[in-house]
Structure 1
Amino acid sequence: MCLNQLRRKRGNAGLRAWPVAVLFARRGSGKTPMESRLKVLIAAFCIVSTEAHAYPANWDAPQKPFVLYGNTYYVGTAGISAVLITSPRGHILIDGTGAKGAGIVADNIRSLGYKVSDVKYILNSHAHSDHAGGIAALQRLTNAPVVAGQANLATLASGKANRDDPQYGELPDFEPVTRLRGISDGKVVEVGSLTVTAHATPGHTPGGTSWTWKSCVNGNCQNMVFGDSLSPNAATSYRYTDHPDTVASLRQGFAAFEAMPCDILVTAHPEANDLFGRLQHQAQNGSSAFIDPNACRDLVVSYRERLDKRLATEKR
């Protein structure tokens, strides 16, 4: 795959335009065609590059599930969030983690005493392999349709990033997803008494979507948020200053995110909101351990600063 990516970027002719030091790094007998020698070198480069960009180990590491509030549970891995919202008439799962995490998510659901087959919908935050790579496997276990932002449907269906993704060219493929349903801002997904609302928070990906719902304990209800990634991450050669539409989308996502009703926030990667740090206080604080009405606004402040800093750096 790495060689094909280089061909897309440089063209076949570009393979013959590499520096002389590279072309003659492996001379052999002189009978091996130049491109064959390059393939060996490029393959070695790809191995190093892939290892350098490998997922952090905790992304695929098991994490014991825990209650967030009321009927809402964390069922993701140690580094990628997935949330289960339960009801007597069926459940809703948000995100599928990566391909290796799908089994962890399923086991976590079972360990809580619920049937994976009772999941009626799988919702997606954005179509990257670390959040969508496990969805196809979970879909086989649940037979549930997958709901995502309209602009992410093509990527989910193909398992390949679109060119309008800022990280295009550096994203791994993932298993394609079937039975897709698009959703737009403000629309809802319902299962029994559950109502989950979609909020368009684009920028990290074009179809990025955050989700809100209410969970209650003894009549005390909290506004729950599964917040999509807002980070201005991009491929090495990508310049946000050359893509004002993407910058505008990020700022749109920031504004939508900080306007959401938000008492308990779960971010797509748990460390973004120190979720496990809050978990340590659960034994003492009980169901209030995760409550922070400022969480969404505070997170936007940090991401807005990151974007502004990147734009300033690119303009130098």
Structure 2
Amino acid sequence: MIRRLALFGALFVCSLCAHAAVYPNFPPHKIAGNLYYVGDSFEAAFLIVTPQGNILLNVGDQDEIKLVKENVAALGFKWTDTKLLLSSQAHFDHVGAAAQVVKETGAKFLVMDGDVDLAESGGKKDFAYSAPK
């Protein structure tokens, strides 16, 4: 039993190291004009800065939101200036933290008609990527 646990632990640590090597964090950066990259290399997130307030495209899930918030601040922008949240798709790994963004910023969350039910569930109704239990 102890050997199995030790083996499982070693495999788990190796998988985390492999994940970090495959998906290193990108520093937040300006892409062009008023478009900025605020995600990591696994979950893309973009910030569009406008005089009427900022637009966030994708936020990720609970694991990503902290990094997205830090990246927005690192670029010199205020998280609370986010007025609109868009999602490229309603899978859990793209909308899992949408409710938190809305709560913290008051942003309006918009998705495509076909994604409304899935997005309202926070991605939990997704057949392919269900929320962690």
Which residue does 1:78 correspond to in 2?
41
Equivalent residues of 2:48, 2:55 under 8 A apart = yes
User: What is the deviation of 1:73?
Assistant: 0.3
Question: Residues 138-180 of structure 1: CA distance to partner in whole angstroms, max 9, x if unpaired?
Answer: 2222111100001111111123225xxxxx2x42227xxxxxx
**1:138 matches 2:97:** no
Q: How does 1:196-211 map to 2 (within 5 A)?
A: none
User: What is the deviation of 1:87?
Assistant: 1.6
The structure 1 segments of at least 4 consecutive aligned residues displaced by more than 4 Å after TM superposition are: 58-61
Which residue does 2:131 correspond to in 1?
173
User: What is the deviation of 1:64?
Assistant: 1.1
**1:118 matches 2:81:** yes
Structure with larger RCO (C-alpha < 8 A, sep 6+): 2
* CA distance in 2: counterparts of 1:138 and 1:77, whole angstroms: 17
Q: Unpaired runs of 5+ in structure 2?
A: 1-11
User: What is the deviation of 1:61?
Assistant: 5.8
User: What is the deviation of 1:60?
Assistant: 8.0
Q: 1:137 to 1:61 in 2, by over 3 A?
A: farther
TM-score when scaled to structure 2? Answer: 0.75
Candidates 51, 72, 79, aligned match of 1:109: 72
Q: Which has the larger radius of gyration?
A: 1
Q: Unpaired runs of 5+ in structure 1?
A: 1-50, 163-167, 175-316
Candidates 101, 113, 125, aligned match of 1:161: 125
User: What is the deviation of 1:120?
Assistant: 0.6
Equivalent residues of 1:122, 1:146 under 8 A apart = yes
TM-align CA RMSD: 2.5
The one-letter code matched in structure 2 to 1:69 is: A
The one-letter code matched in structure 2 to 1:161 is: K
SS in 1 for 2:55: strand
Q: 1:133 to 1:57 in 2, by over 3 A?
A: farther
Equivalent residues of 2:93, 2:129 under 8 A apart = no
Name the % identity.
Answer: 29
Q: How many positions carry a matched residue from both structures?
A: 116
